[in-house]
Amino acid sequence: MGSILVRTPELSKVKVCISLLYRRIGYVSEMKFICLTLLLFSGITDSRSEQFEVLGPADPVFAVAGEDVILPCSVKPNISVVDMKVKWFRLDLKDSPLVHLYEDHEDRNADQIQSYRERTKLIHQELQRGNASLKLSTVRVSDEGLYKCFIQSKSRSDDATVDVRVEAVGRPPVITVDGFDGSGGLHLQCESEGWYPEPDLEWLDSEGVSLSSETTETHRNTDRFSVKHTITVYDSNGKIHCRVKLRHHMLESLINTTNSMFISWRTSVILITVIVVLVVIAGILIAVVMQRNRGHDQLQDERDQLLQSQKIIITQAVPQLRKHVAVKVTLDADSAHPQLIVSDKEIHVECGNSRNAVAWGKHRFDTYLGVLGKDGFSKRSFYFEVQVKGQTEWDLGVARESSNRNGWINPRPYAGYWTVRRRDEEYFACEYAHVPLSLRVDPQRIGVFVDYEKGLVSFYEVESMSHIYSYTSQSFKQKLFPFVCLGYEREYNFRNVNSTPLIICDY
C-alpha cells in the first residue's frame, strides 16, 4: 500500500495510533487494520464536512411599514440546513424572545412573540441551498430592532445579527398661509403627520436654497411623529417648497408666492389709514358703515346660495354617476385565485377553505386572493359599486389588462393597479407609498368611477355620499378591468379568515 501524507494535527494523531497498533496487536490481520484506518479517516472527514459559517448583511436592512421585508441569513459554504435547527429571535428585547423556530423539519412557533403570529415565514425550498432568510410580512414600527439568526447542526452552531430599521411614510405636507406681520412679512406654516422615525422638514426657495425655520414643533403619537415648521417670507416672487424626508423617502408640497400678494398687503395698509382719517368725519363714517352692512348682507346671501348649490351637487353626484355611466360588472372566474369561490351569477366572491382544482397560468392570480371583471373598458367613463359590509380585509379598484397577476405583486399605479385597501381596521390608497385615509365612517358600499380620457379614478362611500380618494393625471393606454381582492391566501400565513363575500351591486 502507498503512504498518505496529511498535514493536519488530527491525522498526525492517527499515525501515532496506527504505530501503536502495529506494535501491540501484531496478530490483527492487515485487512482489519486497513478497515480501522479508513474508519478513523472517515470520522475526521465527516467532522470537517460539518464546518460552516452563518452570514448576515453587513448593513442595516430597511423596511417600510405596511409592506413585506426579507431578513437575509445563509450559511457558507452553501450546504443544506434542512436537517438543522434554525432559530430567529430578538436581541434587543428582554430575554431575547422567539420570532421564528424551525426544527425537526417543521416550524415550531408555539412560543413565538404574539405580535409576530402569522407574519413570519421560512422558504423551505431555499433551506436546501443554505438560505435561512426570514420573510416578515406587513411590517410594523414595533418590528424595528436587532435580530439573531442562529443555526445549529449535530456538531456545530453559529449565528449572525441582522439590524432592521423601519420607516413609516406619513401624509404629504400641507402648507397654510397665516397672514402678514407688522413689517409686511408673509407667515407660512407647513405640517405633516404619520412618520417614523422623526423626519426632517425643510423649506426651500425656487432656486433650491434652504430657508431657516423660525418655529419648530414635533409631537409623537403612539409610534408616529408629526412635525410643524413656520417661516416668514418677504417680497418673494416664486415657488416656496416644504419638504419632509427620511433616509429613503421624501414628500414635498409647494406654494406660489408672488409680488402681487405683498402689493395687496401694502394696499390694504394704505386703505386702512384712509379709513382711519375718514373716521374723523362723522357723516362720512355713518355712510360708509351703512354701505358696508348692505354689502355684507348681500355677500352673505350669495354665499348661502352657493353653499346650498354645492350641497345639492355633492348629494346628487353618485346618483348622476349611476344614471349616466354605470356599467354591469360580472366576475371572471378564470382569473380568480384557486382559493376563491365565485358564485354562479358571477357577482359574489368569497374565501374558500382550500384550493380549487383549476388550471394555472399567468392569467390567474396565484398569491393574492384577487379576481378581475369579465369585461374591460377604454376610451369612455364607467362606474360600478362593490358591497364590502362585514369584510375586514379587502382591496378594490381597477387593473390594467397586462398587469402581473402572479407572485408577490405590488398593486400600485406603476404596476397597473389603482386601488383602495383595508387592513387591520385602517384604510389606505395604494399610491407609490401608502397614503393613510381618515374616513368618518367605515365604508359599507363603495362606488368606483373611472374617466378614461382624463386619467381619473375616484372612490366614493355610497351610503354617506362621501368622497374617499382620487387618483388624478394618470395615463391609460390599455383596457381597465374591475378588480377586487380579499388579501392573501391562508397558507402564506396571512390573516383573512373572514368568510363574508364581496358583492358586485345592482342599482
Higher pLDDT, 299 or 120: 120
**pLDDT (tens digit, 9 = 90+) per residue, 211-255?**
887 778 889 888 899 999 988 887 665 788 899 999 888 888 888
**pLDDT (tens digit, 9 = 90+) per residue, 143-199?**
999 999 999 999 999 999 999 999 999 888 998 887 766 566 788 889 999 999 999
Higher pLDDT, 290 or 201: 201
Q: Contact 398/483 with Cβ under 8 angstroms?
A: yes
Burial class (CB in 10 A: 0-12, 13-18, 19+), 320: exposed
The one-letter code for the residue type at 251 is L
Can you say how many angstroms the Cα of residue 234 is from the centroid of all Cα atoms in its chain? 40
Closest CA to 120 of 93, 94, 89: 89
Choice among 288-297, 304-313, 353-362 with the minimum mean pLDDT? 304-313
Higher pLDDT, 72 or 43: 72
Residues 138, 115: Cα–Cα separation, whole Å: 11
Q: Contact 139/64 with Cβ under 8 angstroms?
A: yes
Q: State in Å, rounded, how far the first CA of the chain is from the last one.
A: 93
Predicted structure pTM score: 0.45
Vertex 58: Cα angle to 56 and 64 (nearest 5): 85
**pLDDT (tens digit, 9 = 90+) per residue, 121-151?**
999 899 999 999 999 999 999 999 999 999 9
Q: Contact 498/394 with Cβ under 8 angstroms?
A: no
Beta strands in 379-479 (DSSP E): 381-387, 394-400, 417-423, 426-430, 434-437, 445-451, 456-461, 466-471
Higher pLDDT, 330 or 32: 330
Choice among 1-10, 56-65, 142-151, 345-354 with the minimum mean pLDDT? 1-10
**pLDDT (tens digit, 9 = 90+) per residue, 401-415?**
999 998 888 889 999
Strand order in 466-471's β-sheet?
340-342, 348-351, 502-504, 381-387, 445-451, 456-461, 466-471
Question: Which alpha helices (H) appear in 57-208, and where do they start and end?
Answer: 124-127
pLDDT score for 63:
92
Contacts 24+ apart (CB under 8 A), 90-98: 90/145, 90/146, 90/147, 90/148, 91/145, 91/146, 91/147, 91/148, 91/161, 92/145, 92/146, 93/145, 96/148
156 SS3 class: coil
226 SS3 class: strand
Work out the percent of the chain whose per-residue pLDDT is above 70.
Answer: 75
Band of pLDDT at residue 81, cut at 50, 70 and 90: very high
Higher pLDDT, 332 or 259: 332
| Pairing label, strands 69-71, 98-103 | unpaired
